[in-house]
Chain A
Amino acid sequence: MTTLPLEPPPATQAARPVIPGRPVLLGRNTGDRLYRAALTGLALSLPLLLVALVFELSASAWPAITRFGFRFVWTSVWDPVAGVFGAAPMIFGTIASSLLALLFAVPLALGVAIYLTEFSPKWLRQPVAFLVELLAAIPSVVYGLWGIFVLIPFLRAYVVPPLRAVLGWTPFLQGVFYGNSLLAGGVILAIMIVPYIAAVSREVLLAVPSSQREAALGMGATRWEAVWTAVVPYGRAGLIGAVILGLGRALGETMAVTMLIGNRHDIGLSVLQPAYTMAAAIANEFSEATTNLYQSALFEVGLILFVLTVVVNALARLMIWRVARGTAVGSRAL
């Protein structure tokens, strides 16, 4: 196979010394140009996809946007028959279930990350990290199944009664617990986002220079003090980024939440009551949305959800980049 330039050198070059490899290095070879064009074409598909996505969502949501304006976000009447749509309960439920999930997932995930980077014996690190990351491989619908038949009976039998006994007077534990509830959705979401937060936190902690640890230990700190006063503060921005990344995951999670949260258009403080999320609303109602306005309202819900997750994810990336500049921490989910 010839590797010399295909076209003969122009006559003017006769005066100068001919360097056979030069056109190759500059990418002037026909094959090179084709290769680059092909790759560029493939790469352009992603921006095009995003533009198409935003355009389609906006266009489909437009009737609802113009009809309801900002009322769509504030009001909570969702009446397909009357053609009145207010998404406040879903927005509330999405945020509430995600925050509840963070409440459980953050200590768990940080515990995993800190233990694996700072305390565990070396031989244990890879296997345990792999096991925790496997949590991310479990399909959402399988989480939902497990939640319906294992988690909810467990919560009903062993978690809710003692919780009620101690904290039953707070507004968060009012009402009858039927199973499908904000609590069930929040717990399943927590398990689902632990691997993401843990993986990114671990990479952040690994990126903390060991001089930080050594300095703290050298000054007489115990191992925990070294971790808590030197390592964790150094990686704080990245850890917060990891948590926000987990939040982004939780906001958009669909199947497991749809199966567990109870799907009721209602805003309530009690975690024992059913709630609704934006993703669940789309999953449940999209196929039965018969009128144009109904469908458009669901598209607007999708648009709000999309914008929310984009903002949250962008925020997370910024925080993570601040710690691990240059390295692609967190792009490798799972």
Chain B
Amino acid sequence: MSARRLRRRVVSGLMTGLVAGLCLVAVLALLLILGHLVAKGASSLDWSFFVKNPVPAGQAGGGVANAIVGTVIVVGVAALIGLPIGIGTGLYLAEYGSGRLGWVVRFVADVLNGTPSIVVGIFAWTWLVKPMGGFSALAGSVALAALMVPMLARTTEEMVRLVPHSLREAALALGYPRWRTSLRIIARTALAGIVTGCLVGIARIAGETAPLLFTALGNLNFTTNVLQPMQTLSLQIFVYATGPFDEWHRLAWAAALVLMGLVLLLALAARAAVRQRHGTAR
């Protein structure tokens, strides 16, 4: 009997160790990737990397200034398009979403949330690139916005729903119209949560590549015209990583480090916003 008990204890201990080990492996994977990015990318981060444009293939030197600026523009325009729609949809779901349309919108958001980004990419191509007669950063931004809206809508809805009902009742009792209650009381109370959703949404699209392949396309030159093809860091990494030159690989690691830093910054900011709202993180 006691041998049996011993065996059960041993099994319990072993399995605890196993799941702890698996957890360690997952964290280790992250640290390994981040470590390699720093180890292989950091040495290439010099002044010319940030201010110069790419040089012709095979030559040494050059930078990714065009891609950095392009990323900011493409993602910025996507945010300009996506944030109002996403937040508005989320507010709709939270305020008026109990009916049939609310159910439909919620369902569609979940469906679109799981849609592969490459599919959104070819959709943007048929809808924007083909009619407009050429690749453009704007088409890429729209594709990215389409990826961001469903997620943002669901997060916003969830955050607005967390606001206590008594707050709404108090505002209405004071004679506030519903729209002002919604915007000035409810949305403002949930602001930290909504900001978190926005930051996470932007972080998610900042690294997207697939929807940009056939929309923003990439561009070797510096441009700020959103109606022209534009380079982004993610596209640049794809080209450089799959190319044949060592020089390209070096730049790919550096560009990946910059992109990762950008995304990490957004993720950390999102986490800070959550902490501020709840005192401690969830």
Across the interface, which residues of A come within 8 angstroms of B89, CB to CB? 39, 42-43, 45-46
A116: chain B residues at CB < 8 Å are 23
Contact with B along A105-140 (1 / 0, CB 8 A): 001111110111011100000101011101101111
The number of residues on chain A lying at the interface, defined by a beta carbon within 8 Å of a beta carbon of chain B, is 99
Distance in angstroms from B72 CB to nearest chain A CB is 15
CB pair B116 A334 closer than 8 Å? no
**Which residues of the other chain, A, contact B38 by a CB distance below 8 angstroms?**
none
Is A333 a contact of B113 with CB atoms below 8 Å?
A: yes
Tell yes or no: B188 within 8 A of A by CB: no
Taking CB atoms, residues of chain A closer than 8 Å to B52 are none
Of listed B101, B123, B267, residue having the most chain A CB within 10 A: B123
Q: A145's contact among B16, B19, B241, B267, by CB below 8 Å, is which? A: B241
Residue from B92, B122, B158 within 8 A of A43 (CB atoms): B92
A3 lies within 8 A of chain B by Cβ: yes
Closest to B241 in A: A145
Within 8 A of B (CB), among A314-334: 314, 317, 328, 331-334
The complex places the Cα of A36 from the Cα of B95 at a distance, in Å, of 9
Nearest neighbor of B32 in chain A, beta-carbon distance: A150
A112 touches B26 (CB 8 A): yes
A238-273 interface code vs B (CB 8 A; 1 in, 0 out): 000000010011011111000100000000000000
Interface size on B, residues (CB 8 A): 101
Known A139-B259, A145-B256, A331-B113; 9 more pairs at CB < 8 Å = A24-B176, A29-B178, A40-B96, A111-B22, A119-B20, A135-B29, A144-B241, A150-B32, A305-B119
**25 contacts across the A-B interface (CB closer than 8 A):** A24-B176, A29-B177, A31-B179, A43-B89, A43-B93, A43-B101, A46-B89, A53-B119, A57-B123, A107-B22, A111-B25, A118-B19, A126-B281, A128-B27, A132-B23, A137-B264, A138-B207, A140-B208, A145-B237, A148-B241, A150-B36, A248-B114, A255-B234, A282-B122, A334-B203
Taking beta carbons and an 8 Å cutoff, which residues of A are in contact with B? 3-4, 20-21, 24-25, 27, 29, 31-32, 34-36, 38-40, 42-47, 49-50, 52-53, 56-57, 60, 107-112, 114-116, 118-120, 126, 128, 130-132, 134-135, 137-146, 148-150, 191, 194, 198, 222-225, 228, 245, 248-249, 251-255, 259, 279, 282-283, 286-287, 298-299, 302, 305-306, 309-310, 312-314, 317, 328, 331-334
